[in-house]
Structure formats: structure tokens, C-alpha cells
Structure 1
Amino acid sequence: MIHLPGNRRPVTHPKGERGRRTRQQLLDAAEAAFGQRGYFATSVADITRRARVAQGTFYVYFPSKQAIFAELVRHLNRQLRHTIQEAVHGLDDRLAVERKGFEAFLRFVATHRDLYRIVMQAESVDPASYRWYYRHFAEGYVRGLRAAMDAGQIRRLDPEALAYCLMGIGNFVGLRYVLWDRARVPRRVLDSLFDFIAQGLVAVPPTGE
């Protein structure tokens, strides 16, 4: 793991519109550079060249390459969760939430194809960010599953274990079809996936003795 020196300043979050645009340009450039070249083969100069900003500008927003990498992992996580939240907004049925959520995740992966490689690199580059990425995603998932269990919509299981199981399904389906085949997930695959999930989640009425 690459540690930031304790006396280095933190990542800057600009308040002005111009500053926010520049910061986003740097994050977009970092996403492309880290995804295509890898963390260790990428330099700050590579990022600023892609972002079309001066190298000195980089340090206005990020103290180091490691700092922008860690922020990028969090940024992608926030973007992904926002995309899914928008897709499921207004839905009350948990099975409908699962389907729309999975579809939103797969669309996000299709437009952010470097997501997998960046997150996998985080395991060795910044383990804390790697764990944060999955744990933070799972926390919201657990809350939704627990609420659905309390409402009797799905079976009462360990919500955290269930969240990670469902996250794993989405992760590997996206890897297999979106990343490897560079295509949309076939409808037959989605139907099989959701039939499997529905059969596993559906609440079973209690039986009499």
C-alpha cells in the first residue's frame, strides 16, 4: 500500500463551477489512464495530459497520484449508487427494485468499462479504498433488504450475507457479458438471472404444524 505522508494536505473539493469542472476533468482522465495503463504505469503527467490541464493544476486538487486514485474509487462508487437509486426511485416491490437495480448496474458498467480494473487494482494499491468500495455499497443494500424482510416481501435471511451474494451475481454477470463480450446482457440471461433471484428471495408463507 502506498501511504500518504501525514503532513500532506487533503484532497480539495472546489466550490466554484470552474473548479468543479477542472476537478471532474482530472477524475475522468484518471479513470481512463488507470483503467487502460494501470496505476503503476500511469504518471501525474499522463493524467494532466489527458485532462488538458497544466501539471501544477493537478496539485491544486490532489496532493498525489495515490490521492486521486483513492478519490476515483470513491467517486465511481458514488456515481454507481446514484445511478441505481435513480433507476429504482418510486418502486416499492423488492423484486422490482432488484431487477431495475441490476439493469442499472449493467448499464453503468457498459459506460464505465474501466471500473472493474480500477477496483481490482485498489486491492493492492489502496486496500482501505478497496474495502470501502464494497462495504459502502453493501451498507445501503443491507438497509433495503432488511426493510423488505420487515415488510414480508422477501424471505428473512442474513441481510449482509444476502447483499454480498447479490453483489457477486451482478459483478460476474457484468464481467462475463458486458466486459468480455462488450455487449448488452442477452434478455434470456436477464430472465434466467431474475427467475433465480426471485425463487431465492420470495417470501414463503408459514405452514401450520
Structure 2
Amino acid sequence: MARTSLLRELPATPRGLRTRSALIDAGRKVFERLGYLDTRLVDITQEANCSSGTFYTYFAGKEEIFAAILEHAQEDMLHPGMQHVAGDDDPASIVEASNRAYFEAYKRNAKLMGLLEQVANIDPEFSKLRQDRADAFIHRNARSIASLQERGLADPELDPMLTSRALSGMVSRLAFNYFVIGDGHLDGEARPMDDLVYTVTRLWVNALRMPTTH
């Protein structure tokens, strides 16, 4: 996420980094348990077993620590780690592995994504953080689309950025509806995550006119 008034520079010492990380871990547990509005700083310091003075060394308030928690979650979602795909001769398999890794990361962070949606509707700073997060995914996917086009593996007439906005928005909204709103359900019925992976992969492949080997 881009640096805003909610995101400070990291501590300079290893001890400071460890303390800040412990506060972030504790804060995440409390926010996910109590929700953003009902969380108090004392709840976080008790969870972290630290003093309020220690807390204020690293964060000005719950807005700052929540922003730091979201920054950690975004790193997990942008770089979730995906299964190894042998070679690059089947770009559709790479898209499938990437989609699966994204959905698995979204599942890990679903409670935070739900809280971000709520807070962004009432706080302009978090609205900006949410947009920064979306833009990071869009730009990454646009670079991937452009690379496929350069290799002759995607429709060269598509605008990479506009295409990425359309496809990335589709995937992220589907993930929100499935993991946050539906809790594993869509249209009133339970669906395995494999259905999501298959569907969005086919839509990506068809939209980009990518070749497949299976």
C-alpha cells in the first residue's frame, strides 16, 4: 500500500520490529474477534501483554495499527505463493494456479477484507487504502497480460490495463461475495472453491484468447 498518514516508517532496530510485529498480531486477533468499531486500545494491549506506552511508541491509535495489519494482509495476498507449474508452455495452467493462490489467500484474510469494506465506507483514509490495494492487483495483472501479449499468448488488440481492471474486478468481487458475504455460499447454496477457480480461469482464458494444452 502507498504510504499515507496512517502508515509510519518501520522501526530501525530488530527489537522494535519484533515488538511492532507482536502488536500487529495481537491487534489482528482483537479486530477479527470484536470488529473494528468495538475494539479498544486496551483490548489490543491486553492481548499483546504490553503497556499503553509501548503501544503509542509504534502507533498513534487504532486507525494506524489497523492500517498496518491491512498492509501485512496485502503482502500475503499479493505474494501468496502458488504451486509450481512446470515450464511456461501452458499459460492457462499458470493462470489457474495464480487464481487458486489468490482465493486461498483471500480465505485467510476474509475477516479483514470484510472489516476494510465497512471502515472504508466511513473513513476516507481507509477508502484510499482500499483503492491502493485494488490498484496494486490491477497493475500486477496488467503487466502479466502485457507479457502474454508480447509472447503471442494473448489477444494483442486488448488494452492490458483496461482488461486487467475488468478481469481483476470480477475476481475480487466474486471472492468478496463468496468468502465475506456468503461464507462459502453463492446464490444460497454451498459451492466448493474449485468451482470458483475453474470459472474465473475459463473466463480469463476466453477473454484473453489464450491457447490451452488441455
Post-superposition Cα deviations, 1:83-138, rounded to whole Å, max 9, x if no partner, equal 15x55787635422321111111111222221321331234322221221111222
Q: What residue is the counterpart of 1:148 in the other structure?
A: 148
CA distance in 1, matches of 2:167, 2:146: 14
Cα 1:15–1:90, aligned 2, differ >3 Å: closer, same or farther? farther
> Is residue 159 of structure 1 aligned with residue 156 of structure 2?
no
Residue number in structure 2 paired with 1:24: 21
Equivalent position of 2:171 in the other structure:
170
Question: Distance in 2 between the 1:170 and 1:88 partners?
Answer: 22
8 Å CA contact retained: 2:155, 2:209: yes
**1:154-191 CA distance string (max 9 Å, x none):** 11312222222222232233234434234883434432
Q: Distance in 1 between matches of 2:72 and 2:62?
A: 15
Equivalent in 113, 121, 124 of residue 122 of structure 2: 124
Q: Aligned residue for 1:50?
A: 47
Q: Distance in 1 between matches of 2:53 and 2:140?
A: 38
Cα distance, 1:91–1:176 mapped onto 2, change above 3 Å: farther
Instruction: Give, in whole Å, the separation in 1 of the partners of 2:87 and 2:51.
Output: 46
* Segment of structure 1 superposing worse, 145-154 or 14-23: 14-23
Instruction: Report whether the alignment pairs 1:67 with 2:64.
Output: yes
Give 1:152 deviation, angstroms. 1.4
Matched, 1:197 2:171: no
Distance in structure 2 (CA, Å) of the matches to 1:115 and 1:18: 27
Number of residue pairs the alignment of both structures matches: 197
Could you report, residue by residue, the CA deviation over 1:6-36 in whole angstroms, capped at 9, with x for unpaired residues? xxxx725234444323212222233333344
**Contact kept in structure 2, 1:77 and 1:137, CA below 8 Å:** no
Cα deviations across residues 58-105 of structure 1 (Å, max 9, x unaligned)? 112122222222222222212211215x55787635422321111111
Alpha-carbon distance in structure 2 between the residues aligned to 1:74 and 1:52: 23
Query: Over the residues paired in the alignment, what is the CA RMSD in angstroms?
Result: 3.0
- Normalised to the residue count of structure 2, the TM-score between the two structures is 0.76
CA contact (8 A) 1:177 1:185 kept: no
User: Greater CA deviation, 175-184 or 59-68?
Assistant: 175-184
Partner of 1:207: none
**SS of residue matched to 2:79:** helix
Give structure 1 regions of 4+ aligned residues with deviation exceeding 6 angstroms: none
Q: Any gaps of 5 or more consecutive residues in structure 2? A: 185-189
SS at match of 1:39: coil
* More divergent stretch after superposition (99-108 vs 32-41): 32-41
Letter in 1 for 2:140: G
Same amino acid, percent of matched pairs: 24
User: TM-score under structure 1 normalisation?
Assistant: 0.77
What is the aligned partner in structure 1 of residue 187 from structure 2? none
